[in-house]
Amino acid sequence: MHSVPVDVEKVSPYNGKIIIDMAYTEEELKKELETKEYEYGFYTDIESDTFPKGLNEEIVIAISKKKEEPEWMTLWRLAAFKGWKEMVEPEWANIHYKKPNFQDISYYSAPNSKPKYDSLDEVDPELLDTFKRLGISIDEQKKLAGVAVDIVMDSVSVATTFKKTLAEKGIIFCSISEAIREHPELVKKYIGSVVPPKDNFYAALNSAVFSDGSFCYIPKGVRCPMELSTYFRINQAGTGQFERTLVIADEGSYVSYLEGCTAPSRDENQLHAAVVELIALDNSEIKYSTVQNWFPGDKEGKGGVFNFVTKRGLCEKGAKISWTQVETGSAITWKYPSCILKGDNSIGEFYSIAVTNNYQQADTGTKMVHIGKNTKSTIISKGISAGKSQNSYRGLVQVNSRANNARNFSQCDSLLMGNECGAHTFPYIEVKNKTAHIEHEATTSKIGEDQIFYCNQRGIDTEKAIALIVNGFSKEVLNKLPMEFAVEAQKLLEISLEGSVG
């Protein structure tokens, strides 16, 4: 959307009518960008098997039954539900929203046909079309070397590729439902071990009603030969999404996991409360990268996804977990991917870019809990705020009394665009060991007119100039993403900030 006359066709919101008008003015472009609908704002009419609205023990049991789960799982869910009923929603975050009515949500929705496809021809053509419009056609994905895709469509996995290659290495990559059935010993041992069912309000809710998600196990000493990725979509009006992800890296193994999502635009708020648990056993490494692009709401702040996510990883001896996230979507983001550095010499990293525009609110950051000796953590957080949005970094660095020689470096940078947005930093540091070494740096800057003019003078228009400046600002984090994801993320940053300076 940069050079005005060239990209007009792509920007045109007028129902596919192509407009090529040489007298196209900047004013018109601005207007068009404002009215531009959410890039992925469409939804398909796949018949769904949807439960009635509301939540009680019967619903929890029904979900578990529907998924043909063993009794221990049903009981686990029920215990979580019992805990949830006694909990209240957290209110400490710097976000303001109308609380969802949890009895007005349907807690289960699955695409009707639940087949095991042998070939693409058997897949519902409408579903395939959706994938194509998202630019993630399975066909292409299959060809994309090194990427296996487990697509979660409305809570139930409908397609898994590259499974065979992975199986040869002993890697298990499947839906969590399948894992519960096929690998109960692994699931039973690790589910809830990092994020206990009653950890917090949303985690408890998720534990009671999670519909599906991904499961991954890398055996001892195995280096996963490809990036594992999951694409999430929200597709049913009024259906909450309660994904559950469990990644286990056994001793000395390595895995890079990509999670990316786009969602169709809807009027009513959609609740998303996922739980992701990572277990990194001795000397293993997990890289978990996310590009999050849920519908952020329109420019009046109407609609948009509420994203309340609990992500946490446990590092045993010498293990390493890196969280990298690019957050551009959601009306509300409440998310703190964390690392429990339990083992000696373990390493936790958090690299984040959070973009808020219009009326979006994000309260995101991390927790680094140093328990083992010589543990190290790095936090690089980049917040970009535009429009009337509010962007908060909230982070906790905790060094326990036994954690000799713990090291932390935190850097929180905020970039402001315009005069109506806000950037906030809430760093919490708790140190109980004198040998700890903690560094915290924070900067706030504003995209200056001088920077824009400088770019303009070199022939770079304002939209492109902003994209360039934002990419430069975010570079340290973008560089942490796997290549194909970095490109997608860069594109997302540009889309998210379009029309925000004018």
Q: Smallest distance, Å, CB 392 to another protein?
A: 22
Nearer to another protein, 49 or 476 (CB): 476
Helix runs in 12-159, H state only: 26-35, 57-66, 71-85, 125-133, 138-143
For residue 334, give every residue at least 6 positions away whose Cβ sits within 8 Å of its Cβ, in sequence order, or none. Answer: 90, 93, 95, 202, 307, 308, 309, 363, 364
**Each residue of 182-206: b (16+ CB within 10 Å) or e?**
ebeebbeebbbebbebbbbbbbbbb
Measured from the CB atom, the residue of 464 and 491 that comes closer to another protein is 464
Name residue, tokens 């940078």. Answer: 413
Interaction between residue 458 and another protein (CB under 8 A):
yes
Helix (H/G/I), strand (E/B), else coil: 114: coil
Nearest CB to another protein, comparing residues 345 and 474: 474
Q: β-strand 390-399 against 361-370: which pairing, if any? A: parallel
Give the residue among 366, 372, 258 at the shortest CA–CA distance from 315. 372
- Among the candidate windows 46-54, 156-164, 213-221, 462-470, which touches another protein by CB under 8 A? 462-470
Residues 463-492 that bind another protein (CB under 8 A): 464, 468-469, 471-476
Which of 133, 460, 484, 491 is the binder for another protein (CB under 8 A)? 460
Q: Which residues of 335-351 are buried (b: 16+ CB within 10 A; e: fewer)?
A: bbbbbbbbbbbbbbbbb
Query: Per the structure block, which two tokens stand in for 323?
Result: 């969280």
**11 touching another protein, by CB under 8 A:** no
Residue span binding another protein (CB under 8 A) among the ranges 118-126, 226-234, 424-432, 449-457: 449-457
Among residues 251 and 461, whose Cβ is nearest to another protein?
Answer: 461
| 454 forms part of the interface with another protein (CB under 8 A) | yes
**Residue 303 phi, psi (nearest 5):** 75, -160
447 touches 361 (CB < 8 A): no
Residues near another protein (CB under 8 A), total: 27
Q: Give the Cβ contact number of residue 75 at 10 Å.
A: 12
Distance CA 481, CA 245 (A): 20
Task: Tell me the window of 201-209, 261-269, 282-290, 454-462 that interacts with another protein (CB under 8 A).
Answer: 454-462
Give the interface segment with another protein, choosing from 58-66, 103-111, 159-167, 451-459 (CB under 8 A): 451-459
Residue type, 453: F
Q: Which is nearer to another protein, 137 or 471 (CB)?
A: 471
Residue 95 CA, distance from chain mean position = 18
| Nearest CB to another protein, comparing residues 26 and 129 | 26
CB of 293 to another protein, least distance (A): 22
- Shortest reach from residue 461's CB to another protein, in Å: 5
Q: What residues does 17 pair with on adjacent strands? A: none
Query: For another protein, which is the closer residue by CB, 191 or 469?
Result: 469
How far is the CA of 376 from the CAs of 255, 357, 379, 419, 436, in angstroms?
A: 20, 33, 10, 37, 10
Question: Nearer to another protein by C-beta: 164 or 458?
Answer: 458
456 makes contact with another protein (CB under 8 A): yes
Q: Are the C-beta atoms of residues 465 and 495 closer than 8 Å to each other?
A: no
Tokens of 29: 């472009």
Residues in contact with another protein, shown as a per-residue x/- string from 26 to 65 under the rule CB under 8 A: x---------------------------------------
Tell me if 453 contacts another protein by CB under 8 A. Answer: yes
Instruction: Between 94 and 451, name the residue whose CB sits nearer to another protein.
Output: 451
Residue with tokens 């929890």: 60
Three-state DSSP state, 412: strand
Q: Which is nearer to another protein, 125 or 459 (CB)?
A: 459
- Binding-site string for another protein from residue 393 to residue 432, where x marks contact by CB under 8 A and - marks none: ----------------------------------------
Applying CB under 8 A, which residues contact another protein? 2-3, 6, 26, 448-451, 453-462, 464, 468-469, 471-476
